[in-house]
Amino acid sequence: MKRTLRKRVLLVACVAGLSAGLGSCGSNREGEVQVVVPEGASASRIAGILEEKELVGSPRLFSLYARLGGASENLKSGTYRIPAGASWGEILDVLESGAVETIPITVPEGFSAEQIAGLVAEVSGAPADSVVALTMDSLFAAELGVPGPDLEGYLFPETYRVAQGLPARNILRIMVDRYRQFWTSERRALADSTGRTEREVVTLASIVEKEARVVDEMPIIAGVYANRLERDMLLQADPTVQYALGSPRARLLYASIDSVADNPYNTYTHPGLPPGPIASPGEAALEAALQPADVPYLFFVARADGTHEFTRTLREHINAKNRIRDAAVRAAREARAEEARQAADEERESADVPTPDDG
C-alpha cells in the first residue's frame, strides 16, 4: 500500500518537477555516491544534502514525496552509499532501512581492553581515554551481563563491520554479544564440570592466550595451569605480571616482578587465578580452558621458535631452561660468525672488481 502510494506521489512529483525544469526523479548515472545523514536531520535537510550530491533535482518536491509517502519521519542517520541513478523511491528505501555503510574493525586474539578501546575510538570518533574508561566501568559490565570485574576479557576477538561514528557503547555491546554467543549450554556444562565459574574460565583462557604461540599447545598449557591450581602451587604466569606492570617488557626480570608484588594480578606472589581476565581470549583458548589436556606437566619454558618444552619437575624445568638458553647463545654466536663471513666475502669481492682506472 505504501509503495503504491509512493509511486502515485512520485509520478505527480516528477511531472511537476520536469514541467518546472527541475530535473528527473532518477537518472542514468553510474556508480555510487556517499551520503552522510546527520543525527536528527529533517526530511527537508536530507533533501538538501541529496541535492548537493546530485541525487535529487528538486529538494522541495522530494520532501513532499517523502512526506506524502509516509517516510519523512522514518529516515535514519548514518553514512550511506546510494547508486547514482537511484530513483526517489529507492533512495527512501535505503534511508528508511538504515542500511548504512560499514567499515571493518578487527579485534585480534590476546588484545587487552585498552588496545581494543583504541580500535573502537577510531571508528566511533570518541576520545580513546573515554572508551578505556567505559571498558573499565563495572556498572556497564554488569549491564551487559558479563561476570566482570569489567569488560577485560569479554570483548570477543573477531572482525566486525560497524557504521562509522557508531557510539562506542554500541560497538562494545556488539563485541560482548558475540562473546555471549560462545557460551552454549554444552560449554556451560563443561565449565560446571571443571568446578570453575565463567569468570575463572575466561581468566584462565586469557593467560593461555597470552602464553601460547601455537594453537595446538593451548590445551597442554591449560593442563599445566590446571595441575598447578589443583596442587595449590603459584601459577607464576609471566603474562599476569606484564598485565600488573601495565606495559609489556621484552624481558621480565625479578626486579620487575618484585615491583608489583602487592598487585593481585601478580601470580608470582598471589595464589590462584588473578581477579579477572588479562586479555580477550579467542575461541581456541576458551576451549582449552574448558577442556585442559590431561598431562603430567607442571612447568614449561618457551623455545626460540615460540613452541614450549613441558616438564614434570623443577629439576627438569631448570635443565630445559639451561638447554634452551645455551642453544640460544650458540645460535647467536653462529649468526654473528656467519655475518662476519659474509662481510669478509663481500669485502674480497669488492677488492677483486676492476676500477675504470685499472689498466
One DSSP character per residue, 56-68 reads -S-HHHHHHHHHH
**Contact indicator for 201, 290 with CB cutoff of 8 Å:** yes
In a domain, 319, yes or no: no
- Per the domain annotation, does 192 fall within a domain? no
β-bridge mates for residue 36, sequence order: 79
Which residue, 49, 89, 98, 42, is CA-closest to 65? 89
Does the pTM of the predicted model rise above 0.85? no
- Domain-located, residue 317: no
Q: What is the largest CA-CA distance in the chain?
A: 96
Q: What is the pLDDT of residue 104?
A: 95
The reported pLDDT for the residue numbered 14 is: 52
Residue 223 sits in the same domain as residue 260: yes
Structural domain that includes position 150? 102-182
Is 8 in contact with 64 (CB distance < 8 Å)? no
**Residue 57 is placed in which grid cell?**
533535482
CATH code, 36:
3.30.1490.480
Query: 92 and 134: one domain?
Result: no
The last residue of one of the domains, among 153, 182, 211, is: 182
Whether 335 maps to a domain, the answer reads no
Per-residue model confidence (pLDDT) at position 4: 52
Res 359: pLDDT: 47
**Rounded Cα gap, residues 263 and 247, in angstroms:** 14
88-97 as b/e: b if 16+ CB within 10 A:
bbebbebbbe
- Do 76 and 106 share a structural domain? no
The string of DSSP codes covering 115-152 is HHHHHHHHHH---HHHHHHHHT-HHHHHHTT--SSSST
231 and 266 housed in the same domain: yes
Q: Which residues of the chain have pLDDT under 50?
A: 8, 11, 15-24, 359
Residue 138: inside a domain:
yes
pLDDT of residue 20: 38
Indicate the number of domains in the chain.
3
For residue 320, being part of any structural domain is answered with no
Please tell me the distance from the alpha carbon of residue 94 to that of residue 96, in angstroms, as a whole number. Answer: 6
Q: Are residues 91 and 134 in the same domain?
A: no
Residue 305 counted as domain residue: no
